[in-house]
Amino acid sequence: MTEGSGEPEKDRRPVVQAIAALAVCLGVVGVLWAQKAFVHQQDTSSGPAACSKSTDRLPARYVSGARLCRSLNRPDLPALLGTPQEQVETAGGSGDWITLAGGTKIAAPDATVTLKTYSVKLSASYDDLSVAETGDLMGDARETTVLGHPAVLYSSPTISIGFDLGGGKASTGPGGTARCLLVSKHAKDDGRGTFEVAIWRQDDVPPDDTALVRVAEQVLQTVPGWNGN
């Protein structure tokens, strides 16, 4: 498939699907840990941050990063996270393709909102894998349900990126742990798409699973593509 054609390959071998899912899930929080190097430089004196302009390159049949950001950047998000005294400091989304080594393209829209204590990411997956199949790829995945939909809860490592603003150099190393909740878009785990909510803390303390579930239960119902049946 050629770059810019906007159509992912439809016929994928199971091993390719597995690699695709792994790439999407492990990419949930990766280099986004770098945001904590800048987040406290934001001017929040005028109130919570609004979603920044989104770069969306996906066809209209996919949910956009801008729409995911609007769903995630809720007025009650700090309270859902258990930090009601805080406010959103940065918020943004994007919609683009990820390209695997074999050339397969998968739509990967996402949005991230950052507060003083937590960062939260909401993403949509179109890799044709069921929640159960994806959970099998995660070492510590635990099956659960969210709003009656099949889900798996698992941990993902983050990457810490430090910046020397004086010398213009960057350094990387292990970051904290993110907790991720992958949920089927439909009440039946049929591989017709998933949403994922992930949270991680700026201070490397393990995130609160209860807060993660609270956020997922409120946010997912507002995302286009969520099906209550």
Q: Residues 137, 138, 144, 149: is their CA dihedral positive or negative?
A: negative
Q: What is the pTM of this model?
A: 0.81
Can you give the residue ranges of every domain in the chain?
A: 14-222
Structure-token pair, residue 88: 């959103």
CA distances from 181 to 123, 166, 217 (A): 11, 38, 11
The C-alpha atoms of residue 160 and residue 89 are separated, in whole angstroms, by 19
Give the residue ranges of DSSP H helices in the chain.
14-26, 65-72, 77-80, 131-135, 209-219
pLDDT digits (tens, 9 = 90+) for 63-105: 999 999 999 999 999 999 999 999 999 999 999 999 988 898 9
Which is it for strands 149-164 and 90-95: parallel, antiparallel or unpaired? unpaired
pLDDT digits (tens, 9 = 90+) for 144-194: 999 999 999 999 887 766 555 566 666 565 568 899 999 999 999 999 999
